[in-house]
Amino acid sequence: MTSSVNGSGRTAVDPVLLRWRNAVFVIFWLCGFMFASWAARVPAVRDILDASTSQMGLLLFGLATGAVLGLFASSHVIARLGATPTLLLCLSTSSAGLVLIGLLASFTPSLAILFAALLAFGIGYSICDVAMNLSAAANERQIGKTLMPMYHAAFSIGTMSGAGFGALLEHFGVPVGIHLIGVGIASLVTSRIAVRFLQPAEHPAEDAVGNQVAGDPPGAGDLPSGDQPGAAVDPMADPLSDTPSPEGWRTRLAVWRDPRIIVIGFIVLGMAFAEGSANDWLSLSMVDGYGISNAGGAAVFGIFVTAMTLGRLFGGKVLDRFGRVPVLRGTAVFAVVGLLLVILGPNVGVAIVGVVLWGLGASLGFPVGMSAAADDPKTATASVAAVATIGYFAFLIGPPLIGFLGEQIGLLNAFWVVAVLAIIAGLCAPAAREPARSAD
């Protein structure tokens, strides 16, 4: 699978790569839609459970705990199964989990049972997150264009669509159960279609045309280097050997001793905290802090994800022009200013301006971190998993921390923690600097 220059001077991309690219767009969109479908109905679930802010923090802690557990296992699961089979398994698990959450919220509204359901949903969702970022990075390298912000824009469009759909259903009084069960079933069908067009994203012991690649351990994160456009590759086949080699395990663990990967992880941590806090608490904070309706809170969350979407849609051009480090610093400033307006704003209008800046500021931290982690294709699987694991600690500590602080000082004031972490992310930006390139 290659790209070539045709007679008109344009780069012709292999159709297999284009179908792979489009399938990755669909998967990113779908994951965003599934998560936002849940996030938009958090106030309604709070009402069903008659839960306090701190109790909701503990409930959301179940989702975050599952996410972190999944991330710790992700590189090993992907090395064992391959990225594509892992995506199929985990998308199916997440879709089924959403159905289960809808059933439980409707018929057995219990904090403990919903905690367990969100734990399972978080495990499948987070492993899927690593696998789809790995597939996206591999496809980006094969096509030879900056695509990662666009992939994450697809995720944001999914969250925007999910938030808008959730706000609409909330406005018309559609029960949470019907909403989430319907989304879960539709997601299950869509995911099974999309994964059929993916290609192996990790480096197998032997590439698609049988060429042994010396020195690269299985699962090291590169793509097959087959030079036959459209070569037949079964997307559901296991691209790795049945028994991962000790060298592969050592490679996956060694990245945790790489200072650059750890610091990139802190960039992702700060910006994931900024994004995740909005996902978990923005709609509820607007309801409680500014006195708007549940539907209005869902709509404000939709504004946030719309701003994130715009930041990611145009982020690739901005990154190409200015580079990763200045852009990460600038977006950190946007996030901090936006948070200050949300926390201190005298009215809803000012707060909404802050939400826009917050969304723009949080838009590029995660995709840039994933691209930076995947700069070395030989360690991309392990590095992406490590950076995502560090970043997802934001989702582990965020919900209970914001919930606890919100119970004591109010949700809006709890967002001061988010501002501090955004500042730290901006200070860590140099770690994401692009690798040195030879002069053209």
User: Above 90 in pLDDT, residue 23?
Assistant: yes
Q: Which domain holds residue 372?
A: 12-202+235-432
Q: Which residue has the higher pLDDT, 393 or 5?
A: 393
2 assigned to some structural domain: no
d(CA 252, CA 138): 17
Question: Which pLDDT band holds residue 11 (cuts at 50, 70, 90)?
Answer: low
21 assigned to some structural domain: yes
pLDDT in tens, 288-319: 888 888 888 888 888 897 898 889 888 888 88
Question: Which pLDDT band holds residue 203 (cuts at 50, 70, 90)?
Answer: low
For 150, the token pair is 């666009």
209 assigned to some structural domain: no
38 assigned to some structural domain: yes
Q: What is the CATH number of the domain that holds 338?
A: 1.20.1250.20
Q: What is the 3-state secondary structure (H, E, C) of 187-198?
A: HHHHHHHHHHHC
410 assigned to some structural domain: yes
Instruction: Determine contact, residues 412/348, Cβ cutoff 8 Å.
Output: no
Instruction: Determine contact, residues 280/402, Cβ cutoff 8 Å.
Output: yes
With left for phi above 0 and alpha for psi between -120 and 50, is residue 230 left, alpha or beta? Answer: left
Question: Which pLDDT band holds residue 9 (cuts at 50, 70, 90)?
Answer: very low
Q: How many domains does the chain have?
A: 1
pLDDT in tens, 414-425: 899 999 999 999
Place of tokens 């901090």: 336
The percent of residues in the chain predicted with pLDDT above 70, rounded, is: 84
pLDDT in tens, 75-104: 788 878 888 999 999 999 899 988 988 888
Dihedral of alpha carbons 405, 406, 410, 414, sign: positive
Please state, rounded to an integer, the average pLDDT across all residues of the chain: 80
Q: What is the 3-state secondary structure (H, E, C) of the chain?
A: CCEEECCCCCEEECHHHHHHHHHHHHHHHHHHHHHHHHHCCHHHHHHHHCCCHHHHHHHHHHHHHHHHHHHHHHHHHHHHHCHHHHHHHHHHHHHHHHHHHHHHHHHCCCHHHHHHHHHHHHHHHHHHHHHHHHHHHHHHHHHCCCCHHHHHHHHHHHHHHHHHHHHHHHHCCCCHHHHHHHHHHHHHHHHHHHHHHCCCCCCCCECCCCCECCCCCCCCCCCCCCCCCCCCCCCCCCCCCCCCCHHHHHHHHHHHHCHHHHHHHHHHHHHHHHHHHHHHHHHHHHHHHHCCCHHHHHHHHHHHHHHHHHHHHHHHHHHHHHCHHHHHHHHHHHHHHHHHHHHHCCCHHHHHHHHHHHHHHHCCHHHHHHHHHCCCHHHHHHHHHHHHHHHHHHHHHHHHHHHHHHHHHCHHHHCHHHHHHHHHHHHCHHHHCCCCCCCC
User: Above 60 in pLDDT, residue 168?
Assistant: yes
pLDDT in tens, 104-133: 888 877 888 888 888 888 888 889 988 998
Orientation angle between helical segments 380-409 and 416-427, nearest 10 degrees: 150
Instruction: Determine contact, residues 126/74, Cβ cutoff 8 Å.
Output: yes
Question: Chain centroid to CA 260: how far?
Answer: 21
Residues in contact with 27: Cβ distance below 8 Å, sequence separation at least 6, in sequence order: 87, 91, 128, 132, 135, 191, 194, 195
Q: Which residue has the higher pLDDT, 151 or 294?
A: 151
329-355 mean pLDDT? 94
395 assigned to some structural domain: yes
211 assigned to some structural domain: no
User: Above 90 in pLDDT, residue 429?
Assistant: yes
338 assigned to some structural domain: yes
For 103, the token pair is 């059933």
* CB atoms inside a 10 Å sphere around CB 314: 16
Q: What is the pLDDT of residue 120?
A: 87
* Residue 19: burial class (beta carbons within 10 Å; 0-12, 13-18, 19+): middle
d(CA 239, CA 234): 9
Which residue(s) pair with 212 in the sheet? 206
Q: What is the pLDDT of residue 47?
A: 85
d(CA 242, CA 326): 44
pLDDT in tens, 242-290: 334 333 556 667 778 888 999 999 999 999 889 888 877 888 888 888 8
Radius of gyration of the chain (CA): 21
Counting every residue written for the chain, the total comes to: 440
Q: Which residue has the higher pLDDT, 189 or 245?
A: 189
Query: Amino acid identity of 237?
Result: A
Question: Chain centroid to CA 141: how far?
Answer: 19
d(CA 330, CA 337): 11
